[in-house]
Amino acid sequence: MAAGGVLALGAAAVLLPHADAAQDGTASAAAPRTFQAKDASDAASRLAGSLGEAYAGSYYDSARRRLVVNVVGADDAAVARAERAGAAVRRVGNSSAALAAAAHTLKASATLPGTSWAVDPRTNKVVVTADRTVTGAGWDRLRSTVRSLGTGMATLKRSAGAFRTFASGGDAIFAQAQGGTVRCSLGFNVTAADGSPAFLTAGHCGVAAERWADAQNGQPVATVDRATFPGDDFSLVEYDDPATSAPSEVNVGGGRSVRITGAAEAAVGETVFRMGSTTGLHDGTVTGLDATVNFQSETDPGGVDTVTGLIQTDVCAEPGDSGGSLFTQDGGAVGLTSGGSGDCAQGGETFFQPVTTALQATGATLGGDGGAGAGAGDGGADAGNQGAGAGAGDGGADAGNQGAGDQPGDDQSGDGQSGAGSAAAPGDDASGAAVGSGAAGDPAAAGGSPAGGGHGQGRGRSH
């Protein structure tokens, strides 16, 4: 276990539209109850089943700690049922079926590289995003498709960046592939279905290379068991040494870590935290679920790599953060970093593969050994180093060194990156010092390399 112990994160305040002042619906007059984010997600899942066709999505108002449920039509019985469950109710015009049909139309007519779409329950619309690469005939085609859906059904917006997977940059797990070194982030340690210690990371990382090391020029220590990309974006990678201790925790820098207690479903409006070795710890808000992203294919210049079922957020990320952990302040494992646009200086959108989907598909389980042996051996904990491992080991990576990865010759990692982390440090209140108060290359503000030393060379592997 990293020095300083396993601590909870202080959540930053996130202001969302109030339930009684929503843009596209009117709120119920009944006084709703307060929810923790996880409880709100569970309650929303139950209501989705019990309300049937009247249910049109939900979101979490973290400022008021309320679950807001959309009800379509004049179904007073559904409204009463949702209110009895403690939710604030909004009457809206678009049903879940209509929103799903709109997404189907987009898939059939506007699957273009550089586009994404997801239902935003706060506006009761499908939000379509085009990155800066969508121009000319492609832009005209996308705009025409969105207009055909109607202004009350879909909105179109621009992203200043370009959608890409983040499998390059300074990072903590390394593999050799055609074209050079690929670097990605370890997401969560798990136990494989056969009882072997393993970890989850992005699928496009596992597709790129089979054998992964914990130091840039080190020997491989883990082998891909299953990798899925496109479609989904997750990999299960098993440690080669069956005696490896794989603690269920996320190293957030400065010798601090957050214990992972289990998998958690995301809720729109929920505050989440992302950890990646390129940019360190950052927080933000879930803005959409079941998102579709159309990445430009890296193997076919004219092709599209489409990934569906993703979590959309306003958390920043940069190359090298692929596969990294998305989690809640109370230790719920939510997602694996897939891709997006922007950076941690100007912001952007980042999409995540749900952990629950990856666990169900692979049969793996979270929990591991609860941290026994973490930081042991040659890779003892070093508070100055951050990344997939708690210890520097004997082959600590220099975040300033860039493997060719998916973008040969680009140096997008290390101390040159800027952008302060906004997440409150473990043990600090939300108004206290930020973990990322330094440059992104020094997210723990402790003078260490963000890439750390992977897991260290001992058998205690933290992430």
Tell me how crowded residue 300 is: count the other CB atoms within 10 A of its CB.
9
Active-site position among 322, 325, 338, 422: 322
Q: Average of pLDDT values for 30-56?
A: 89
Q: Are 39 and 151 part of one and the same domain?
A: no
Of 92, 126, 145, the last residue of a domain is 92
pLDDT of residue 430: 34
**Reported confidence tier of residue 368, pLDDT bands at 50, 70, 90:** low
Contact 410, 37 (CB under 8 A): no
C-alpha span between 125 and 206 (Å, rounded): 34
Q: Are 156 and 60 part of one and the same domain?
A: no
pLDDT of residue 270: 95
C-alpha span between 435 and 442 (Å, rounded): 9
pLDDT of residue 73: 84
Does position 401 have pLDDT exceeding 90, yes or no? no
C-alpha span between 17 and 225 (Å, rounded): 43
Dihedral (CA of 137, 162, 159, 153) sign = positive
Percent of the chain scored above 70 by pLDDT? 71
Contact 257, 333 (CB under 8 A): no
**Distance set, CA 333 to CA 2, 193, 199, 258, 323 (Å):** 19, 18, 13, 11, 13
- Helix or strand (DSSP H, E) at 76: helix 76-84
Residue in the block written with tokens 């940069």: 318
322 carries an active-site annotation:
yes
pLDDT digits (tens, 9 = 90+) for 2-23: 333 334 343 333 322 333 334 4
CA 455 to chain centre: 21
The region of weakest confidence among 78-92, 270-284, 431-445 is 431-445
204 carries an active-site annotation:
yes
C-alpha span between 86 and 11 (Å, rounded): 23
Of 92, 111, 141, the last residue of a domain is 92
Q: Are 174 and 276 part of one and the same domain?
A: yes
Residue 98 makes CB contacts below 8 A (sequence gap 6+) with: 153
Q: Are 72 and 129 part of one and the same domain?
A: no
Q: Residue 433 in 3-state DSSP?
A: coil
Closest CA to 166 of 360, 315, 288: 315
pLDDT of residue 172: 73
- Classify 73 in phi/psi space as left (phi over 0), alpha (psi -120 to 50) or beta: left
User: Which domain, by its residues, includes 30?
Assistant: 25-92
DSSP state of 415: G
Q: Are 33 and 141 part of one and the same domain?
A: no
pTM to 2 decimal places = 0.71
Q: Are 276 and 394 part of one and the same domain?
A: yes
Q: Average of pLDDT values for 383-410?
A: 33
pLDDT digits (tens, 9 = 90+) for 431-441: 333 333 222 32
Closest CA to 295 of 349, 335, 333: 349
Helices (H), 85-135: 96-109
233 carries an active-site annotation:
yes
Average pLDDT of the chain to the nearest whole number: 76
Give DSSP secondary structure letters for 341-363.
S-BTTTB--EEEEEHHHHHHHH-
Active-site position among 233, 314, 343, 382: 233
pLDDT digits (tens, 9 = 90+) for 194-213: 999 999 999 999 999 999 98
Q: Is residue 29 part of a domain?
A: yes
Q: Are 300 and 364 part of one and the same domain?
A: yes
Q: Average of pLDDT values for 238-259?
A: 88
Percent of the chain scored above 90 by pLDDT? 54
Q: What is the CATH number of the domain that holds 266?
A: 2.40.10.120
Q: Are 187 and 39 part of one and the same domain?
A: no
Active-site position among 204, 282, 455, 463: 204
Residue in the block written with tokens 């010759």: 409
* Parallel, antiparallel or unpaired: strands 271-276 and 280-296: antiparallel
